[in-house]
Structure 1
Amino acid sequence: MTDDVSRVIREAQEAASSAAANFVERIAARLGLHASASAVFGDPVDRDGITVIPVAKIRWGFGGGSGRGIDGDSETGDIGEGAGAGGGVMASPLGYIEIQDGQATFHRIEDPASYVPLVIAGAFAGWLTFRGLAKLFRG
């Protein structure tokens, strides 16, 4: 009886590990099909002798897994299986490349939201400075 249980557990672990690996590999391959230079550099636009190529920063993330196990409370030794995955992509414009008369120039697009951490850090540093000066003059 113990040998049968160990064999079933070993088979379930092998099946789960190979299924999880294949599952994650399939997701990575699908995302890899879309992770190309065209995702970062948009289609060029030509107008009046000037070519403009949009540039973006693309971030991909995904996770997935699967499992298989024996229900310990069941007298029949039912085996349950499950799999799940999730992912996302985020694109942020960085700027554009302008090509005119054989010269290429990159123009950055400023994102006001990128200054928020700098403002918060500056405010915190100012607060610490004023707090230290107040203690210095008090005592």
Structure 2
Amino acid sequence: MHTPSTSAAATSLPERLAQQLGSSVSAQTIYGTPVERDGITIIPVARAIYGFGGGGGSKANEGEGSGGGAGVALTPIGYIELTDGKSRFRPIRSSVVPLVAVSGLVALLLLRSVPKVLRRNL
């Protein structure tokens, strides 16, 4: 039977989650592997958001329990362009605004056609 070491037993669940999560997010994760083509070097850049949580409790006559979880979200935000000894950050534009505009237009056209369909069916 394996028993945890004293240092591992003294480490709380949130501390263990933070250690594991912290080791998975590194500079290499945020700044991807550079790609070079035709004298231009591109370095991808991402935003990392991570969180963790844990909890536990007990209730008389119902037992006790604990749990925890962690997560990482990586979102590409742009790239660094290296050309002729100069660097420039180039953001990736979000496509949410055009999507909302198109969705709104489609919804408007659908709503305008509802009375016509209802009049035809009466």
Q: Normalising by the residue count of structure 1, what TM-score does the alignment of the two structures yield? A: 0.56
SS of the counterpart of 1:92? strand
> Does the 8 Å contact 2:17/2:70 carry over to 1?
no
Query: What value does the CA root-mean-square deviation take over the aligned residues?
Result: 2.7
Structure 1: stretches of 5+ with no match in the other structure: 1-18, 74-79, 120-139
By percentage of residues, which structure has more helix?
1
CA distance in 1 between partners of 2:32 and 2:26 (Å): 11
> Does the 8 Å contact 1:40/1:57 carry over to 2?
yes
Structure whose alpha-carbon radius of gyration is higher:
1
Percentage of pairs with the same residue: 47
- CA-CA distance at 1:37 after TM superposition: 1.4
CA distance in 2 between partners of 1:28 and 1:71 (Å): 31
Aligned to 2:60: 71
Structure 1 outlier segments of 4+, above 6 Å: none
Aligned residues: 92
> Does the 8 Å contact 1:44/1:53 carry over to 2?
yes
Pair 1:49 & 2:32 matched: no
- CA-CA distance at 1:29 after TM superposition: 0.6
- CA-CA distance at 1:20 after TM superposition: 9.8
Q: Normalising by the residue count of structure 2, what TM-score does the alignment of the two structures yield? A: 0.63
Structure 2: stretches of 5+ with no match in the other structure: 1-8, 102-122
